[in-house]
Structure 1
Amino acid sequence: MANTTSAKKATRKIARRTIVNKSRRTQMRGAVRTVEAAIKSGDREAALKAMKLAEPELMKAAQRNLVHKNLASRKVSRLVHQIAKLAQ
């Protein structure tokens, strides 16, 4: 348990940031799931639309250190590749 005043404040601060970060992470994951669902259904147009929303979400999450920047880039790359395969 925190003893000093600054440690108590830090604990409160961390709790507030955790709530914000969880919300942002959930939003990002939801956007990715939407793209994956569109890909699975084979709907290229819906997948492209969803990807247009998901890519900025992923990159913002990487900028805010919610996920590693390489993870965000890798996810975007793989999703775009899967969408490209739908065109064939």
Structure 2
Amino acid sequence: MANTKQALKRHRQSLKARSRNRVVKSHVKNAVKAVRSAVQANDLDQAREALQRANSVLDKAAGKGVIHKNNAHRRVSRLNKAVNKMAQMQ
């Protein structure tokens, strides 16, 4: 356990940040899962709507520093690719 005042404060801050980051990460996972399930169900309208929400959630997570910006861009790219591929099939 931390001994100095500075270390104690830093520990408190890290616990708060961890709880905030967990919330944001679960939002990201749920948004991505919604897109994937819509693609699997072949529902183009729902997939596009979920993709728009996922883009927003991923960009916000990257902006807050919860995930790296390249990680967010990569995920958005892969989701776009899946939705576009599904749209071409129909």
The alignment's TM-score, normalised by the length of structure 2, stands at 0.93
Measure the CA separation in 1 of the matches of 2:10 and 2:67.
22
Measure the CA separation in 2 of the matches of 1:87 and 1:35.
13
In the TM superposition, residue 17 of structure 1 has moved relative to its aligned partner by 1.0
Measure the CA separation in 1 of the matches of 2:54 and 2:87.
19
Measure the CA separation in 2 of the matches of 1:62 and 1:29.
14
Partner of 1:48: 48
Measure the CA separation in 2 of the matches of 1:46 and 1:37.
10
Q: Which letter maps to 2:59?
A: M
Q: What secondary structure sits across from 1:2 in the alignment?
A: coil
Q: What secondary structure sits across from 1:85 in the alignment?
A: helix
**Matching of residues 55-74 of structure 1 within 5 Å:** 55-74=55-74
Q: Which runs of 4+ in 1 moved over 6 A?
A: none
Q: What secondary structure sits across from 2:66 in the alignment?
A: coil
Partner of 1:82: 82
Is 1:15 the counterpart of 2:28? The answer is: no
Measure the CA separation in 1 of the matches of 2:2 and 2:55.
39
Partner of 1:31: 31
Q: Which letter maps to 2:81?
A: H
Measure the CA separation in 2 of the matches of 1:54 and 1:64.
15
In the TM superposition, residue 64 of structure 1 has moved relative to its aligned partner by 1.4
In the TM superposition, residue 81 of structure 1 has moved relative to its aligned partner by 1.1
The alignment's TM-score, normalised by the length of structure 1, stands at 0.95
In the TM superposition, residue 86 of structure 1 has moved relative to its aligned partner by 1.1
